Amino acid sequence: MLSFENSTYLWWLLALVPVVFLFVSVIKWKQQVKKNLGDAVLIKRLTAKYSPRLFRIKFYVIIIALFIGIFTLSNLRKSANRGVEQSSGIDIIIALDVSKSMLSQDIKPTRIDRAKQLINQLTDNLYNNRVGLEVFAGQAILQMPLTDDVGAIKMYLSNINTDMVPIAGTAIGDALNLANNALDSNDRKHKAVILLTDGEDHDAKTEDAVKNLYNHGVVVFTVGIGTAQGSPILDPVTNEYKKDKDGNTVISKLNEKELQNIASSTGGSYLLLNNDATAVKTITSKINAIEKKLIVSGKVGNRQYFYYFPYLIALVLLLLVIELFIPERKKELV
């Protein structure tokens, strides 16, 4: 199917209308001048070598060149894909912990920054799947529903921070329930959740949420962000470490056992984030091992196109060269 990448340039076609009008006016003016000069026989002799036909042909060539030139600027193209785009993949919800404990610096620069870096790299390897994004702390919020445009996640990542969710806490149960609701409830497979958190869970709903996910055929991959030794939580506003009600510095520690239980209960696996490249490779390979389904893409951003630009510009140049060699005088017979 033919389309234009820069269709706004097509409005320039309207500029050809006054050009044609001007040309017609010039032709009529020349005819009127000939009549006003008087002696038609004499005028015909004086203009015997002039060719109105060649004059019109020169104009036609120029106007056609301008017409094609506008199509060239509009970048006429044809989709190289036949029918709709299809691929095999699964539905994935990425759930990112944005609680205050993710500000801990036991992995540099902070837990949340490393988690965002991992997600950013993952999106480059999940392009055959539909992916959604949610954030959670004391409650879970769906940032982006399932889409085949996984590159859109990169736009959301830059704005994610620990102030996005007003309710404090780490409600992993709510996050898992929201992820389950965002996935197709009629499909008992082809679904996964990638949970990135430090695992400091204070949510009694987690166990029920995990069972619900398992019953709906959702595989959960958990990624531990942090260390078992933990670290204090630096408040970026006051630049002081968070303290409890007794004035003691709060140490946030990675709860690996919680994350291992969640993953194993759904047939998934747990991964400790200590090397981004290894984590991306591991998660991608496990995602690829899940049975795929046919995904019909609604986007056109990744389609391949055949562009007519070089051919059109060559045609424009050819017409302009031809116009240069078309005389306005009749060819003299020897």
- The CA-to-CA distance between both ends of the chain, in Å, stands at 54
Do 99 and 74 sit in the same domain of this protein? no
The two structure tokens encoding residue 235: 């408040």
- Bond into 166 cis (ω within 30): no
* DSSP code string of 248-265: PBPEE---HHHHHHHHHH
Residue that the structure tokens 């060649």 belong to: 54
Mean pLDDT lowest for which of 60-64, 156-160, 325-329? Answer: 325-329
Question: pLDDT at residue 29 above 80?
Answer: yes
Do 230 and 190 sit in the same domain of this protein? yes
The answer as to whether 333 is a domain residue is no
Number of domains in the chain: 2
The answer as to whether 42 is a domain residue is yes
Distance CA 223, CA 275 (A): 12
DSSP character for 100?
Answer: G
Give backbone dihedrals phi and psi of 281, rounded to 5 degrees, phi first.
-65, -40
Please give the average per-residue pLDDT across 265-272, as a whole number. 95
The two structure tokens encoding residue 211: 């069972």
Tally of residues, the chain: 334
Do 286 and 308 sit in the same domain of this protein? no
Do 230 and 185 sit in the same domain of this protein? yes
Distance CA 131, CA 150 (A): 6
Question: pLDDT at residue 34 above 90?
Answer: no
Do 75 and 179 sit in the same domain of this protein? no
Do 309 and 263 sit in the same domain of this protein? no
Do 216 and 270 sit in the same domain of this protein? yes
Proportion of the chain above pLDDT 70, given as a percent = 87
Distance CA 2, CA 4 (A): 7
The answer as to whether 332 is a domain residue is no
Do 251 and 312 sit in the same domain of this protein? no
Nearest C-alpha neighbor of 92 from the set 164, 159, 145, 140: 145
- pLDDT band at residue 331 under the 50/70/90 scheme: low
Do 190 and 64 sit in the same domain of this protein? no
The residue type found at 22 is L
The answer as to whether 159 is a domain residue is yes
Distance CA 102, CA 96 (A): 10
Distances (CA, A) of 211 to 135, 182, 206: 21, 16, 9
pLDDT tens-digit series, residues 170-216? 899 999 999 999 998 888 889 999 999 998 766 678 999 999 999 99
The answer as to whether 331 is a domain residue is no
- pLDDT band at residue 256 under the 50/70/90 scheme: very high
* DSSP code string of 68-98: HHHHHHTTEEEE-S-SSEEEEE-EEEEEEE-
Do 163 and 262 sit in the same domain of this protein? yes
Give kind and range of the element (H or E) at residue 3.
strand 2-4
Do 95 and 166 sit in the same domain of this protein? yes
Do 133 and 34 sit in the same domain of this protein? no
The domain of 32 spans: 2-80+304-324
Q: 177: how many CB neighbours lie within 10 A of its CB?
A: 20
CATH code of residue 184: 3.40.50.410
Residue 153 in contact with residue 119, Cβ under 8 Å? yes
The answer as to whether 329 is a domain residue is no
Give the model's pLDDT for residue 285: 92
